[in-house]
Amino acid sequence: MKLGIMQPYFMPYLGYLALINHVDQFILFDTPQYIRHGWIERNRVLKLNGTPLYIKVPLLKHHQNTPICSIGINNSIDWKQKILAQLVHYKKKAPYYNNVIGLLETVFENEYTSIVDLNYKSLLTLCNYLDIKTPMSIWSEMNLDIEPVTAPDEWALHISKALKATSYFNPPGGRSFFDNEKYTKAGIDLKFLEISVEPYKQFENDFTPYLSIIDVLMFNKKEKAKDMINSFVLID
């Protein structure tokens, strides 16, 4: 069984979806401490002039050491309409604008108090659109007993062992984070999945990679996006 584990990102980049698609089971790891300026409640799209634009879900105030699973959404702000309004300029140039807005409206028709619940629903909606069938679970709801964790890379190791995974996959940015020898001794094949970013036409500017999947789906038909998700290399 191939396992992937990531923190629950909001409308993540293409590689995140590629990871979900490649594994047999995917877990949203929501018990680490929430860190500001990450990708839990925000992501990047483009302005009409080609510069990055952040779309963001407002969060309630919380203590510094609050875990992601306890982070609440500030629903006193009409963030859903703000995000939709921030994307209106795509209508001028993006051929699949209506498809993407339809996906967002499907997500936004529900009410959320938790950022994890929002991101979970968002990912399920994206996966359904892209025909990704991988089962997805939320770690804090799994009630899975694992061995004591003594180092950061042992979360994935012990979860993999508990689920009898034969392979664990992670994005390449975490390579220095893992001790490969631990995984080898446990009989788990540790791999890193690196997406091959193929430029596509955005606005009338140079190509900007690693944006939210929203940008990818705005400019590419579903079949092309699926091909892009399957374009990756595996690194030991």
Distance from C-alpha of 56 to C-alpha of 44, rounded to nearest angstrom: 9
User: What token pair was written down for 233?
Assistant: 């290399």
Distance from C-alpha of 110 to C-alpha of 131, rounded to nearest angstrom: 22
Distance from C-alpha of 208 to C-alpha of 215, rounded to nearest angstrom: 10
Report the pLDDT value the prediction gives residue 103, as an integer from 0 to 100.
98
pLDDT at 156 over 90: yes
Q: What is the DSSP letter of 48?
A: T
Q: What is the DSSP letter of 220?
A: S
Q: What is the pLDDT of residues 122-152, one digit of tens each?
A: 999 999 999 999 999 999 999 999 999 999 9
Report, as an integer, the average pLDDT of 53-82.
97
Report, as an integer, the average pLDDT of 159-180.
94
pTM: 0.96
**pLDDT band for position 79 (cuts 50, 70, 90):** very high
Distance from C-alpha of 79 to C-alpha of 118, rounded to nearest angstrom: 12
For 120, other C-beta atoms within 10 Å of its C-beta total 19
Report, as an integer, the average pLDDT of 178-189.
96
